Amino acid sequence: MKKVSLFILFIFLSGCISRANYPINWVKPESVTPSSCLNWSGTFNNHGENTSKNGENILSAIFAVPTVSTHDADTVKLHTDTGKGLINVEIYKKGEIITHLSLEQVKNEFVCEDGKITIKRNTFLNDGGAIGKEWVSYTLNLTAEALIIEKKNGVAGALFFIPIVGQESNWLRFKKV
């Protein structure tokens, strides 16, 4: 009976994990000091590349509530001031600023981990027979030519009482302007 119970538990709690390796044709991110996050700034293309064929590739959607105007944006200017616990974001379309916002570390809108800035979000779902939690994190890395983001997301929940667990990671690249 114990073996049958373990088998049934394994079937119901199994999930899917998908992890993309760092693309070999992309320049490696700059090395960082784990003790503190670096302050940096740059302007990047809003539309980038994603190692997942079906994944998002819009930089402004990571920082702002996605709207038609932010998806149509051309560039995103970022400036970090980790001493003050801020990331300033300006979103531009045809040279005109369409949105400006700041992420604050004291509001847990980002964290500094191992010398890198990570933006973490959690959402809960309870709709149409599905209940669960989704989490996503974006870890920012720089190269001489681009902003590289490691995206990790996962879900745990149930769909009509059937447990679902999954995790995925992939890479995004947004070239400097």
- Tell me the pLDDT tens digit for each residue of 130-177: 889 999 999 999 898 999 999 999 989 888 888 888 888 999 999 999
pLDDT band at 95 (very low <50, low <70, confident <90, very high): very high
pLDDT in tens, 1-18: 554 443 444 445 556 666
What does the chain look like in DSSP terms, one character per residue?
-HHHHHHHHHHHH--EEEEPPPPTTSPPPPP--TTSPPP-EEEEESB-EESSTTS--BHHHHHS---HHHHT--EEEEEEETTTTEEEEEEEETTEEEEEEEEEGGGTS-EEETTEEEEEEEEEEEETTEEEEEEEEEEEEE-SSEEEEEEEEEEEEEETTEEEEEEEEEEEEEEB-
Residue 174, pLDDT score: 97
Residue 71, pLDDT score: 80
Average of pLDDT values for 48-76? 85
pLDDT band at 43 (very low <50, low <70, confident <90, very high): very high
